[in-house]
């Protein structure tokens, strides 16, 4: 390679690295700013002395959120929704996806078209509310689980993944006397761990971030998940829903809001890296065969 070509290649690499570094800084700066505000004291926030690092770090905002806002109770409810809701979602989605992936199922194509139709036509808010009320689910946590038991997109992705499993493997299991339930549990699911992890992550994140349906179906503030508490704190500040702590001056609303954002985002950030490889592999492999 000619010297000028080597010099041009060197400049191209470092130019690309510089651009990526600038983009990384732009992406990370909001998160760093949120952390800095959440750990800052009242005086620094009032004087606007915030850039990247807090000048006088303190845990006042986190102590206030964890003790005086009901966020801990909301966090427990959110964990319940994620664990129970995701398990319920996966049970129904996996069984229906397996049924729709098998050939010769009576009405299978009609059911698949109905599922695809729901991707284009979604029920109205009033219709959903009337159905939930008719089943007596208002002011219960089940109103946040049962109406969204199966997401059509997740069902289609999982069905596409099941179609990649060799038909000969399932036929040999049938010859050995295995029924559909045993085939699903012992053969299909173990071979679909990547797709199952991806779909479970979709459902878990949806349950964790969902606040709209909670504000519609829940009238009892004791049942609010962490996402609703976060929304109230961001829109109204810390004082409207906070309980005064003896001998403690409330931190500024801004630090309370940022502390709640950090606490609400942290669980997903801790879980996602462990599921990232399954997430990418599951979605890409499920889209290979139609």
Q: Where are the domains of the chain?
A: 1-58, 62-290
The owner of tokens 């800095």 is 36
Q: Would you place residue 7 in the very low, low, confident or very high pLDDT band (cuts 50, 70, 90)?
A: low
CA dihedral (137, 138, 139, 144) positive or negative: positive
**259: CB partners within 8 A, 6+ apart:** 38, 61, 62, 64, 65
- For position 83, what pLDDT does the model report? 93
The owner of tokens 């009238």 is 219
Most confident of 79-93, 96-110, 123-137, 189-203: 79-93
For domain 62-290, the CATH class is mainly alpha
Share of the chain above pLDDT 90, in %: 10
Lowest mean pLDDT among 6-20, 70-84, 86-100, 223-237: 6-20
The answer to whether residue 3 scores a pLDDT higher than 60 is no
Q: Would you place residue 287 in the very low, low, confident or very high pLDDT band (cuts 50, 70, 90)?
A: very low
The answer to whether residue 49 scores a pLDDT higher than 70 is no
Q: Mean pLDDT in the chain?
A: 79
- For position 240, what pLDDT does the model report? 45
pLDDT single digits (tens) 146-166: 988 888 888 888 888 888 888
């Amino acid at each position: 390679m000619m010297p000028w070509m080597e010099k041009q290649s060197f400049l191209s690499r470092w130019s690309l690295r510089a651009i990526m570094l600038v983009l990384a800084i732009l992406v990370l700066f909001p998160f760093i700013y949120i952390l800095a505000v959440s750990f800052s004291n009242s005086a620094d926030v009032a004087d606007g002395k915030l850039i990247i690092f807090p000048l006088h770090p303190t845990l006042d905002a986190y102590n206030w959120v964890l003790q005086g806002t009901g966020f801990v109770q909301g966090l427990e409810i959110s964990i319940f929704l994620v664990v129970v809701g995701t398990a319920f979602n996966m049970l129904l989605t996996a069984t229906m996806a397996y049924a729709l992936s098998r050939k010769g199922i009576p009405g299978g194509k009609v059911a698949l078209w109905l599922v695809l139709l729901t991707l284009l036509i979604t029920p109205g808010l009033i219709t959903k509310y009337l159905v939930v009320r008719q089943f007596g689910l208002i002011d219960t946590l089940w109103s946040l689980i049962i109406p969204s038991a199966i997401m059509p997109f997740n069902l289609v992705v999982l069905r596409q993944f099941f179609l990649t499993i060799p038909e000969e493997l399932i036929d040999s299991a049938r010859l050995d006397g295995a029924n559909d339930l045993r085939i699903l549990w012992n053969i299909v699911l173990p071979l679909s761990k990547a797709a199952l992890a991806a779909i479970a992550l979709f459902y878990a994140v949806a349950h964790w971030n969902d606040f709209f349906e909670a504000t519609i179906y829940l009238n009892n503030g004791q049942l609010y998940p962490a996402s609703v508490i976060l929304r109230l704190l961001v829109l109204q500040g810390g004082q409207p829903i906070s309980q005064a702590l003896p001998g403690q001056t409330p931190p500024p609303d801004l630090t309370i809001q940022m502390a709640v954002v950090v606490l609400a985002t942290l669980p997903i950030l801790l879980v996602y890296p462990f599921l990232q490889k399954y997430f990418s592999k599951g979605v890409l492999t499920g889209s290979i065969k139609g």
